[in-house]
Amino acid sequence: MTYRAATSEYEFILKTLIGFEEAAATDRFSEATPDLVAAILGEAGRLCDEVMAPLQRGGDTDGARLENGVVRTSPGFADGWKAISDGGWVGMNANPDHGGMGLPLSVATAVNEMMAGACLSLQLAPLMSQGQIEALEAHASDAIKELYLPKLISGEWTGTMNLTEPQAGSDVGALTSKATDNGDGTYAVTGQKIFISWGDNDFAENVVHLVLARLPDGVLGTKGISLFVVPKYIPDDTGKPGKANDLKVVSLEHKMGLHGSPTCVMQYDGATGWLVGREHGGMAAMFTMMNNARLGVGGQGIGTAEGAFQHALEYALERKQGRTASGAIVDHADVRRMLMEMKADVFAARAIMLANAHAIDMSHATQDGDWATRAAFLTPITKTFGTEVGMRVSETGVQVYGGMGFIEESGAAQYYRDVRVTAIYEGTNGIQSMDLVGRKMMDGGEMAGRLLDEIEELAEQGRGANPKMTDALWNACEALRDATDWMVSQDMSDRFAGSLAYLRAFARVLGGYYHLKAAQADPGGSREKLARFYMARMLPEYAAHLAAATAGSDGLFALSIDELAG
């Protein structure tokens, strides 16, 4: 199967839909000219097409393994990592003071998404390092920055984050890992962490772990947690990897997918670490990493959906069956329906993701709190909708293949197996939706209302050319506005009961907004045709979602535990 990075789509969305020129007009991103962005996307596309995509199947069939305590990565992954690091792709939006490119996050997000479509297992490695780079830039001491950031940005060293423990999944505050002061500026970190993506590898000089642990005087819960940088090899006086630290990979998880990405159980036995940020401020530092990681995970879902769509389309064009104009199944109505839904959903999710990244860029470039609030509101939508699109599109891809989709050799099932975890990690999608209707609506729904105002303004402007589409979008906005008013007037139990449905409805409407903008930029063209399909067949899902969103919590607990089990 041939993968092609969707570089023209990224350029269209950045230029036409999300107002990227706003970021390029700021002092911080003034060098991000259209020509430079196009060149970067083109080079990244070639990396994905020629280097990463050929590693996709081998990473699944010949996955990472643990041999005598040493992680062995899939064949070709070391060369793939070298191409990524040599190209500077790890430090795309990192600070140039330490060797980064200083690119807007929106451009880096586009590149990360195309990498996910090419080979998700390998793409996880630079994504982990990027998150750590951001956390260290924001919270680490100057000494730690000077030592670790150049190595992480260059790809000589790789980074991880260690949150989860066997007894503390989403409830991070229940962790039991501990740290004690060694009296020399270092700490002894002890505990076990699970589900650590790329916890080790055989191609980097060093692996740097960010580990959450509790100091002796740390209170219970998240407020008593501190963050430590704990390297696999302790740097010597020259900054080179020295003696082995007191940590090890206990085992690799046997997973449904992502076989090429080693997911480790890590054991720390008094390992030497350095405090990042202030004592007991670990969660604030880690959330710097996690918030953008949630944007990145949404992109992983979208990238996987793009790969699954291309894979399914190629098969549908080649598979001969039945009487159609071409003789191929692509001309069967139901197969065409599936392909159209896949394409329309990928476009909608990608536009939301890049708009989210653009808001983060603008918040950093302007220090305008309105942009930061917009970015915060869009983040749980990007993560949840992006990963759900990844699951839905990859599952549909199996269906396009028919019986062959259930046969591993076709490669269709890998996309679904690989992407399924994205709805779970970096905060499950249920947690994301509760965050949306809880913390992100502490403003009484003001940001939600402002987004709806913008959508209705666009619909109003386009009534003359596309009355059917604009009316559909306007009506959806009004219904969503009513549901938002209902949400902010309820207690949290009722909000949470309908939170995922509400988020899905909001994503459907935002998707309609970007499809309409695309249609207006391409009257009579393929984008308008795709928008008409979305508005007629996919946007109406919002009504069912809003009915569930405003149903309250009583029905969820109507059955007793015995009745539920019976």
Give the tens place of pLDDT for each residue, 323-347.
888 899 999 999 999 999 999 999 9
Answer yes or no: are the C-beta atoms of 194 and 177 closer than 8 Å: no
**Range of the structural domain that residue 184 is part of:** 158-283
User: Nearest 5°: phi and psi at 564?
Assistant: -65, -40
Residue-wise pLDDT tens digits, 125-153: 999 999 999 999 999 999 999 999 999 99
Q: Which of 26, 160, 35 is nearest to 102 (CA)?
A: 26
Residues 256 and 340: their CA atoms lie apart, in Å, by 28
Q: pTM of the entire structure? A: 0.96
Q: Is residue 501 part of a domain?
A: yes
Residue 531 within a domain: yes
Split at pLDDT 50, 70, 90, the class of 407 is very high
Question: Tell me, what's the pLDDT at 260?
Answer: 97
**Residue 354 belongs to a domain:** no
In a domain, 174, yes or no: yes
Gap between the Cα atoms of 473 and 509, Å rounded = 7
DSSP-derived 3-state class of residue 193: strand
Exposed (0-12), middle (13-18) or buried (19+): which is 490, by Cβ within 10 Å? Answer: middle
Measured CA distances, 59 to 115, 121, 202 (Å): 14, 7, 15
pLDDT of residue 220: 87
DSSP element (H, E) containing 536: helix 526-537
Distance CA 80, CA 266 (A): 25
**What confidence tens digit (pLDDT) does each residue in 214-266 have?**
999 989 888 889 999 999 999 999 999 999 999 999 999 999 999 999 999 99
Q: Within a domain: residue 488?
A: yes
Q: Which two tokens stand for residue 457?
A: 């303004």
Q: Catalytic: 426? A: yes
Give the whole-angstrom CA distance, residue 241 versus residue 232: 8
* pLDDT band at residue 271 under the 50/70/90 scheme: very high
pLDDT at position 465 is 81
* Cα atoms found within 13 Å of the Cα of residue 181, Cβ hemisphere only: 8
For the chain, how many structural domains are there in total?
A: 2
Alpha carbon separation from 528 to 29, 247, 336, 466, 490 (Å, rounded): 32, 56, 17, 10, 39
pLDDT for residue 542 is more than 70: yes
- 136: which 2 tokens? 């260290």
- The verdict on residue 496 lying in a domain is yes
Q: How far apart are CA 510 and CA 140, in angstroms?
A: 37
Please give the share of the chain, as a percent, with pLDDT higher than 90. 89
> What confidence category does residue 426 fall into, taking pLDDT thresholds of 50, 70 and 90?
confident
Q: Please indicate, yes or no, if residue 263 is contained in any of the structural domains.
A: yes
Over range 402-431, report the average pLDDT: 95
**Given this model, what pLDDT does residue 1 score?**
59
Identify the pLDDT of residue 488.
97
pLDDT at 136: 95
- For residue 456, being part of any structural domain is answered with yes
Q: What is the DSSP letter of 53?
A: G
Give tens-digit pLDDT for 464-516.
Answer: 788 999 999 999 999 999 999 999 999 999 999 999 999 999 999 999 999 99
* pLDDT category of residue 170 using cuts at 50, 70 and 90: low
- pLDDT-derived band at 293 (thresholds 50, 70, 90) equals confident
**Domain endpoint, select from 283, 306, 327:** 283
Q: What is the pLDDT of residue 207?
A: 98
* Catalytic residue of the set 9, 165, 341, 426: 426
Question: What is the sign of the dihedral through the CA atoms of 225, 229, 233 and 234?
Answer: negative
- Boundary of a domain, candidates 283, 305, 333: 283
- With cut-offs at 50, 70 and 90, classify the pLDDT of residue 76: very high
* pLDDT for 294: 93
The CATH number assigned to the domain holding 219 equals 2.40.110.20
**How far apart, in whole angstroms, are the C-alpha atoms of residue 129 and residue 111?**
15
Burial of 369 (0-12, 13-18, 19+ CB in 10 A): exposed
- Domain-terminating residue out of 283, 314, 347: 283
Helix (H) or strand (E) holding 166: none
Q: How far is CA 448 from the centre of its chain?
A: 22
Instruction: With CA atoms as reference, report the closest residue to 394 among 16, 7, 150, 56.
Output: 56
Is residue 292 scored above 70 in pLDDT?
Answer: yes
